[in-house]
Amino acid sequence: MDFQLSDAQVSIQRAIRDFAQEEIVPNVMEYDERKEFPAHLIQKMGELGLLGVFYPEEYGGAEMGYTDYALILEEISAADPSIGLSVAAHNSLGTNHIFTFGSEAQRQRIIPRLTSGETMAAWALTEPSGGSDAFGLKTTARKVGDKWILNGSKTFITNPNYADYAVVMARTNPEKGKAGISAFIVEKGMPGYTVGNPMNKLGMRASDTAELFLEDCEVPAENLLGNEGEGYFDALKILDGGRISISAMCVGIARGAFDHAMRYAQERSAFGKSISQYQAIKFKLADMATKIEAGRLLTLRAASLKDQGLPSLTEATMAKLFSSEAAVDIANEAVQIFGGYGYIKEYPVEKFYRDAKLGTIGEGTSEILRLVIARDLIKKYAINMEKELV
């Protein structure tokens, strides 16, 4: 077990930290208030390899692993969680689904455009009728000649206004339940496909979140993604990596809030001395730092398992559950340490406080994650008990 980052990983961290400080931090509140994703950064992030983190060079990717990816997302999210969220959804959901389950023709046509920053990817599973029960989806796809006709709608989808490609899950055979769901690559400009306006959100305001409408949307047969009827099983595998990314994003949010709180605690005086000298504040800082460290270790462990090709579903789920709830607590304590200024938009922690909440909802709510963890543990214990009895 090695807890040291490699020299290359430390260099990646530094490079992204510098990029974030120069290009993102100065305008964070402006992006937030205008609820506008900084489109001019897409190309730059592509050049830095941030939009094709784990894809081979031949597709324009940076050929890094999930561990590197977690470090990258922590750095971006410590500067602006909204950009972290959009980069996460692009890399580990949309692009990853096309790369992992796409045909070679689909990969060659689409992946280089996504890794270079020419455009972005969206991944659309959630529907207005429910996200936790996402595979009870109502969107349908019917084969007519050499086309699929899609009807339905998706909601809360990240990136679609900036994405030429959206991976859309739809029901191709209602009688087959989970085995009757397939994935499609829906492209901007396809007849019957429209994207709603950016939703007006509590936090993560600069990350594009919108509805997708599919009205007799015509998708060519070659845009079926993966095998017909395997969309559900493929999507579950994609979500596994997605949770690592959201966990890393939450570690970044927590660290961003903590850094500001630590600095402020030392600058601010009350009753004649720095507030950092009061035990009540010291305990908060100690608890915050300990939770960040724990969240980071859980995240990197899940990422390391994934990099080794080992099962990581439970570990990724535990990491995301812990890091997201810790980020909410830490951002809350950061606001508390700032006192009245923590409640004012001129100071950075109120934004971390708003942004943090998304972590306990997106890519599986905390309630659903606890169900997933418990289900897996119960299965493992039952198998172990069976072995002991034999």
Ligand X SMILES: Cc1cc2nc3c(=O)[nH]c(=O)nc-3n(C[C@H](O)[C@H](O)[C@H](O)COP(=O)(O)OP(=O)(O)OC[C@H]3O[C@@H](n4cnc5c(N)ncnc54)[C@H](O)[C@@H]3O)c2cc1C
For ligand X, the binding residue among 156, 233, 278, 347 (CB under 6 A) is: 156
For ligand X, the binding residue among 131, 241, 256, 348 (CB under 6 A) is: 131
For ligand X, the binding residue among 77, 126, 304, 314 (CB under 6 A) is: 126
Residue type, 113: R
For ligand X, the binding residue among 24, 120, 124, 334 (CB under 6 A) is: 124
Residue type, 262: M
Q: Are 235 and 225 in contact (CB under 8 A)?
A: no
For ligand X, the binding residue among 12, 62, 64, 204 (CB under 6 A) is: 204
To ligand X, the closest distance from the beta carbon of 172 in angstroms equals: 18
Q: Are 106 and 137 in contact (CB under 8 A)?
A: no
For ligand X, the binding residue among 77, 86, 106, 158 (CB under 6 A) is: 158
To ligand X, the closest distance from the beta carbon of 299 in angstroms equals: 19
**Per CB under 6 A, does 135 bind ligand X?**
no
What's the rounded Cα separation, in Å, for the pair 280 and 277? 9
Stretch that binds ligand X, among 50-58, 112-120, 323-331, 361-369 (CB under 6 A): 361-369
What's the rounded Cα separation, in Å, for the pair 260 and 341? 12
For ligand X, the binding residue among 72, 89, 224, 250 (CB under 6 A) is: 89
- Cα distances (Å, whole numbers) of residue 240 to 3, 87, 99, 267, 352: 23, 16, 15, 42, 25
96 versus 276: smaller Cβ distance to ligand X: 96
Residue type, 63: E
Which positions from 207 to 246 touch ligand X by CB under 6 A, shown as an x/- string?
--x-------------------------------------
To ligand X, the closest distance from the beta carbon of 82 in angstroms equals: 9
Q: Is residue 363 among the annotated active site residues?
A: yes
To ligand X, the closest distance from the beta carbon of 385 in angstroms equals: 26
To ligand X, the closest distance from the beta carbon of 213 in angstroms equals: 15
Helices (H), the chain: 7-19, 28-33, 40-47, 66-79, 81-88, 96-101, 104-116, 231-267, 279-307, 313-338, 349-356, 366-389
What's the rounded Cα separation, in Å, for the pair 353 and 256? 11
Two tokens, residue 360: 């306990």
Which letter does DSSP use for residue 310 in this model? Answer: -
Stretch that binds ligand X, among 34-42, 69-77, 124-132, 305-313 (CB under 6 A): 124-132
To ligand X, the closest distance from the beta carbon of 364 in angstroms equals: 6
**Per CB under 6 A, does 60 bind ligand X?**
no
Residue 38: exposed, middle, or buried by beta-carbon count in 10 A (0-12, 13-18, 19+)?
Answer: buried
243 versus 284: smaller Cβ distance to ligand X: 243
**Per CB under 6 A, does 75 bind ligand X?**
no
**Per CB under 6 A, does 328 bind ligand X?**
no
- Residue tagged active-site, from 75, 127, 315, 363: 363
Q: What is the CA radius of gyration of the chain?
A: 21
Q: Are 196 and 212 in contact (CB under 8 A)?
A: yes
49 versus 160: smaller Cβ distance to ligand X: 160
The C-alpha torsion from 304 through 305 and 307 to 310, rounded to 10°, is: 170
What's the rounded Cα separation, in Å, for the pair 191 and 6? 49
Site residues, ligand X (CB under 6 A) = 89, 123-126, 130-132, 156-158, 201, 204, 209, 358, 361-365, 367-368
Active-site residue list: 363
